[in-house]
Every structure is written in structure tokens, then in C-alpha cells.
Amino acid sequence: MTTENKTGEVIISVRGLTKHFKGGDVQALCGVDTDVHRGEVLVVIGPSGSGKSTFLRCLNLLEMPTDGTITFEGVDITDPKVNINIHRQKMGMVFQHFNLFPHMTVLKNMTIAPVTLLKKSKEEAEKKAMGLLERVNLADRANAYPNQLSGGQKQRIAIVRALCMEPQVMLFDEPTSALDPEMVGEVLDVMKELARSGMTMVCVTHEMGFAREVGDRVLFFDEGKIVEEGTPREIFSDPKEQRTKDFLNKVL
């Protein structure tokens, strides 16, 4: 499975990615190099403050890298001449705190971007949205407002909202960290189904079970660097680096 995906074309290529935060002495990222292949599920793990979230947020330039390049579908998106909004349409993102739009119904949340940005008709966008809602068993909540939903429901909506734009890659920023424990499962199930359907995914997560089950490749971050990378089996069963071992001992 892994080798098969490794041969898939490179969709995101990261070279020398560096990020300093204003006023801070610490470097959030110091020279990260990696490639994301089409169809691959890349799981990013590491202690808090290791730069894994910053790494993910740099991929769609929500954080502006201080240095280095990010090439998405052959275009260097860190080039200031590039219109990042066009490329972000093809990168879905799911946040820790869901960030649904509270003043819109679930359906409006899902259709506003396709209608406004992709110039889809309202009917077409709503049809697609309803189809996706059925996939996550939330079709009956289409006209609810986000505040009427549970955390798990919100996050499932957030995932399908991103899917409405038909992205080439999905970025997950600790999607289960803000959830009550009993709701983690339903969100992970949606993510697993998405992974099986062949979606390219980059997931920052603390869910080691998820990483082991659906991850094709695991990156272990610490102090702004990739300390170790490999298949889930290599990382979890046979970690080479002492820092990886320490981390896994704490979380497993």
C-alpha cells in the first residue's frame, strides 16, 4: 500500500520551510523538507510546540513561511505573484475548533463557497451538499444552525463543508482535540472513510490509533524539525530516534 502511494505523483512539495514568529526567539520551523503524494494519508505527530500545526498551516499559507518554498500542483505558492486564493480552493482545511459560520445554516455553510467562488448554481451546490450530508448521516440537520449541533456533528459538517469545494488535498489541524471523548469516534470514522476513498490527506493529530490504522506515512516533529519519518509500523513499533521513543512512551 505504502509503496504504491509513494509512486503516486507529488502533489505538495515542501523545501527548506522555515518559520519565525514575530518577536519570538524560537523558530517554529527550521528547514522542513517533505513531499505529499497523491492519494497518500500523511500523519503528523509530535509534542505540543513542535511546529506540526505551523507546518500544516504553512501548506495553505495561513501562516506565511519566513523562508523556503511550497510547491502545490507544480506551482510555487510562496511566490508573492501567485494568487493564493485560487490554490486554496483546491486545499480543504479542517480546524480544531470547527470554525463553522454561526450565522448560516449547515446547508448555507456548505454552499456559500462553491456558489460564490466556483460559480455553481445554488441547486447544483445544494444537491452536492445534501449528498455529502447523507454520507455523514447528517442530512436531517441541513437547516440547523451550527450552535444547535454537538461538537462531533460540527466537525463532521466542517469536513463535508471542505469537501464541497472538491479539493485535491485535505488538511486536518487536530480535528478531534476539541471534542468530548465519546464524539471522537464519529469524526475519525468520517476521516477513515475519506482516506479509503483515495483522498490525499495531511493530518496533524494526537490519535495514534488513527495514525496506525489509516496513515501511509508518519512524520514525527520535534523542535521545528522532522525528527523521524516512516510507515506507521516503522514509527510505532520500531522507532529509531530517542526523542520519538520518549514521545511514544508518553502517549501510548
Partner 1 sequence: MTIFEQWWQPIEQMISNKQPLTFFQTIYKELYMNAISDGRWKLYLDGLWVTLKVSFWAIVFGTLLGMILAVLRLPDVTEYRYRGSNPLKKAATALLRFFSWFAKFYIDVIRGTPLLLQVLIINFGIFGTIRIDKVIIGVIACALNSAAYVAEIIRGGIMSVDHGQMEAGRSMGFSYIQTMRHIILPQAMKSALPSLCNEFIALIKETSILSYIALTELTKAGDYIRSRTYSAFTPYIISGLLYLGMTLILTRLIGKMERRLRASDH
Mark out the alpha helices in 42-164 (DSSP H runs). 52-59, 84-88, 106-117, 122-135, 151-163
Binding residue (CB under 8 A) for partner 1 from 23, 24, 74, 80? 80
Binding residue (CB under 8 A) for partner 1 from 13, 69, 89, 168? 89
Q: At closest approach, how far in Å is the CB of 94 from partner 1?
A: 9
Q: Closest Cα to residue 73, out of 11, 145, 8, 29? A: 11
Binding residue (CB under 8 A) for partner 1 from 32, 162, 204, 208? 162
Binding residue (CB under 8 A) for partner 1 from 77, 149, 165, 219? 165
Kindly list the distances between the CA atom of residue 175 and the CA atoms of 165, 178, 218, 224, in Å, as whole numbers in the listed order: 19, 7, 17, 21
Q: How far apart are CA 208 and CA 229, in angstroms?
A: 15
Length of the chain: 252
Which string of x and - marks every residue 185-224 that binds partner 1 (by CB under 8 A)? ----------------------------------------
Binding residue (CB under 8 A) for partner 1 from 70, 93, 226, 235? 93
Q: How far apart are CA 202 and CA 175, in angstroms?
A: 11
Q: At closest approach, how far in Å is the CB of 80 from partner 1?
A: 3
* 113-142: contacts with partner 1 (CB under 8 A): 113, 116-117
Our CB check for partner 1 shows the closer of 71 and 99 to be 99
Contact call for residues 65 and 18 (beta carbons, < 8 A)? yes
Q: At closest approach, how far in Å is the CB of 100 from partner 1?
A: 8
DSSP secondary structure of 139-189: GGGTTS-GGGS-HHHHHHHHHHHHHTT--SEEEEESTTTTS-HHHHHHHHH
* Total of chain residues touching partner 1, rule CB under 8 A: 34
Would you tell me which residues interact with partner 1 (CB under 8 A)?
60, 62, 64, 80-81, 85-89, 91-93, 95, 97, 99-105, 112-113, 116-117, 145-148, 161-162, 165, 171
